[in-house]
A and B are shown apart, each in its own frame.
Chain A
Amino acid sequence: MMFNLSAYKGDVSLIDGEHCVTYEMLIHKSNAIAKAIGNRCLVFILCTNTPASIYGYVGTINNNIVPLLLDYKLDNSLLNELLNTYKPDYLWLPKSGRHHFSGMKCVFGDDGYELLKTCYEEPVSLYEDLALLMTTSGSTGSPKLVRLSYDNIRSNTESIVSYLNIDAGERAITSLPMHYVYGLSVINTHLYAGASLVVTEKTMFQREFWDMVKTQAVTSFSGVPYTYTMLEKLRFFRMNLPSLHTLTQAGGKLDPELHEKFARYAMERGKKFVVMYGAAEATARMGYLPAEYSLAKAGAMGIAIPGGRFELSDDNDNIIDLADTPGELIYYGPNVSLGYAENKEELANGDEQHGRLATGDIAQRDQDGFYTVVGRKKRFLKIFGKRINLAEVEHILRQHFKESEFACTGRDDYLFIFFVGGDMDEKIKSFLVEKIAIHPSALRVLSIPDLPKNAAGKTLYRELEQYYDL
Chain B
Amino acid sequence: MTDLEKYTKVFAETFDVNESEVEKLEYQGIELWDSVGHMSLISALEEAFDIMLDTDDIIELSSFEKGKEILSKNAYGIKF
Binding site for B on A (CB under 8 A): 203-207, 210, 226, 229-230, 233-236, 238-239, 384, 433, 439-442
Contacts and interface: CB of A to CB of B under 8 A. Distances in A.
By CB atoms of chain B within 10 A, which of A210, A239, A384, A441 has the most?
A441
A440 B55 contact: no
Nearest to B27: A205
Given A439-B32, A440-B16, A440-B32, A205 B38 contact: yes
A425 to B, nearest CB: 13
Contacts of A210: 59
B60 A207 contact: yes
Interface string B22-51: 000001000110111111101100000000
Task: Give the bracket for the number of chain B residues in contact with chain A.
Answer: 10 to 19
A233 B35 contact: no
A235 B54 contact: yes
A230 B35 contact: yes
B36 A441 contact: yes
By CB atoms of chain B within 10 A, which of A205, A207, A210, A233 has the most?
A205
Contacts of B38: 205
A384 B60 contact: no
Contacts of A226: 36
A288 B33 CA distance: 33
B60 A233 contact: no
Interface of B: 16, 27, 31-32, 34-40, 42-43, 54-55, 58-60, 62
Nearest to B59: A207
Contacts of B58: 205, 233-235
Nearest to B60: A207
Given A205-B27, A205-B59, A238-B55, A441 B40 contact: yes
The secondary-structure label for the interface of chain A is helix
A233 B39 contact: yes
A210 B60 CA distance: 12
Contacts of A439: 32, 34, 36-37
Nearest to A437: B31
A230 B58 CA distance: 11
Contacts of B35: 203-205, 230
Given A205-B38, A230-B35, A439-B37, 13 more contacts: A203-B34, A204-B35, A205-B27, A205-B39, A207-B60, A233-B58, A234-B55, A235-B55, A235-B58, A439-B32, A440-B16, A441-B36, A441-B37
Given A439-B32, A439-B34, A440-B16, A239 B55 contact: yes
Nearest to A205: B38
Contacts of A238: 55
By CB atoms of chain B within 10 A, which of A229, A235, A433 has the most?
A235
Contacts of A207: 59-60
Contacts of A440: 16, 32
A105 B16 CA distance: 39
A234 B46 CA distance: 13
